[in-house]
C-alpha cells in the first residue's frame, strides 16, 4: 500500500469513528454556516459539496439548489448523512474520493467545502474545482490554517475565550465530550496545514481575485467567482 493510500485509509477510519460519536450541536464550522451561505446565489441548479460529513451543511445548500451532489470519503459519514437528510430528496450523497471522482467540466453553479481542503493536494483540488465550476459560478471554502506570524497569535488570544463562551452558550458545556475530544486529537496527529501566505499564493496562481480571509476559531475562508469569460 502506498503512502497516499495509507493516508486516505487513515482519514476514512478517523472520520468513521468521529461520525459515530459526534452530534450536530454547535461547533466551529456551524458558526460560519450563515456567512458561507450568504456568499452563494439564492437559486442554483447544481451545487457540489466536497467533504459533506453528516450532511448538516448539505441540507442548507439544498435550500438553494435544484440538486446537491455531496461527496465524502467516510462510509459512516455518508450513512448518517442519508439518514438525517430524508426530507431533502434533492441531495445525492456519494461515498468516494473527490480526487478520483470524475467531475464534469463547467457543471456546478457553486462548489462548497468545509474543513476538508487541508486533507487534499491543494493545487490539484483547486484546479479541479476551477474546471468543474460553471462560468459565473462561486466557490466557497472554510478550512484550517497553520499559525505563522504575530497576527495569527493575536487571533488566538481572542479565539480561546470566545470559544469557551460560545461553546457554553450553544451547547451548555465548556467543551465537547471526552470521546469526541480524543477522536479529534488522534486524527490531528496526522493533519497538516498550510499557513495563510502559502494559501494566498496558491489562490493567486489558480483562482485570480479570490478573497482569502482569516477568521476566529483557527479558520480561514476562500470566496471566488469564476468569471463568465474565463475558461477552465
Q: Can you point out the beta strands (E) in 31-186? A: 44-50, 65-72, 91-95, 108-114, 133-144
If pLDDT is split at 50, 70 and 90, which confidence band does 145 have?
very high
The answer to whether position 232 is within a domain reads no
The count of domains in the chain is: 1
Residue 230 falls inside a structural domain: no
Q: Does 194 fall in a domain? A: yes
Domain presence at residue 54: yes
- Distance, CA of 54 to CA of 101 (rounded, Å): 19
CATH number of the domain at 73, please.
Answer: 3.40.50.150
173 lies in a domain?
no
Residue 38 lies in a domain: yes
pTM across the whole model = 0.89
- Rounded to the nearest 5°, which phi and psi values hold at 132? -80, -20
pLDDT of residue 184: 67
**How far, in Å, CA of 207 to CA of 129, rounded?**
10
Which helix (H) or strand (E) segment holds residue 220: the answer is strand 219-225
Strand 211-215 and strand 219-225: the pairing is: antiparallel
Residue 231 inside a domain? The answer is no
Binning pLDDT at 50, 70 and 90, where does residue 7 land? low
The whole-number average pLDDT for the span 109-116 is 97
Please check whether residue 157 lies inside any domain of the structure: no
Supply the range of the domain harboring residue 197. 3-148+180-225
Amino acid at each position: 500500500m502506498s503512502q497516499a493510500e495509507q493516508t486516505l485509509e487513515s482519514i476514512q477510519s478517523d472520520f468513521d469513528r468521529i461520525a459515530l460519536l459526534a452530534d450536530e450541536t454547535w461547533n466551529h464550522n456551524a458558526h460560519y454556516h450563515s456567512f458561507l451561505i450568504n456568499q452563494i446565489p439564492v437559486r442554483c441548479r447544481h451545487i457540489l459539496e466536497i467533504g459533506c460529513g453528516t450532511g448538516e451543511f448539505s441540507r442548507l445548500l439544498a435550500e438553494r439548489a435544484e440538486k446537491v451532489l455531496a461527496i465524502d470519503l467516510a462510509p459512516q459519514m455518508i450513512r448518517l448523512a442519508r439518514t438525517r437528510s430524508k426530507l431533502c430528496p434533492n441531495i445525492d450523497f456519494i461515498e468516494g474520493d473527490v480526487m478520483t471522482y470524475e467531475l464534469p467540466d463547467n457543471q456546478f453553479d457553486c462548489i462548497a467545502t468545509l474543513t476538508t481542503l487541508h486533507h487534499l493536494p491543494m493545487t490539484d483540488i483547486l484546479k479541479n474545482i476551477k474546471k468543474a465550476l460553471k462560468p459565473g459560478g462561486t466557490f466557497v471554502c472554510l478550512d484550517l490554517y497553520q499559525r505563522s506570524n504575530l497576527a495569527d497569535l493575536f487571533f488566538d488570544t481572542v479565539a480561546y475565550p470566545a470559544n469557551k463562551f460560545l461553546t457554553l452558550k450553544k451547547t451548555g458545556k465548556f467543551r465537547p465530550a471526552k470521546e469526541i475530544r480524543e477522536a479529534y486529537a488522534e486524527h490531528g496527529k496526522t493533519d497538516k496545514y498550510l499557513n495563510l501566505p502559502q494559501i494566498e499564493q496558491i489562490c493567486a496562481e489558480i483562482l485570480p481575485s479570490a478573497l482569502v480571509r482569516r477568521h476566529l476559531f483557527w479558520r480561514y475562508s476562500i470566496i471566488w467567482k469564476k468569471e463568465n469569460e474565463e475558461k477552465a
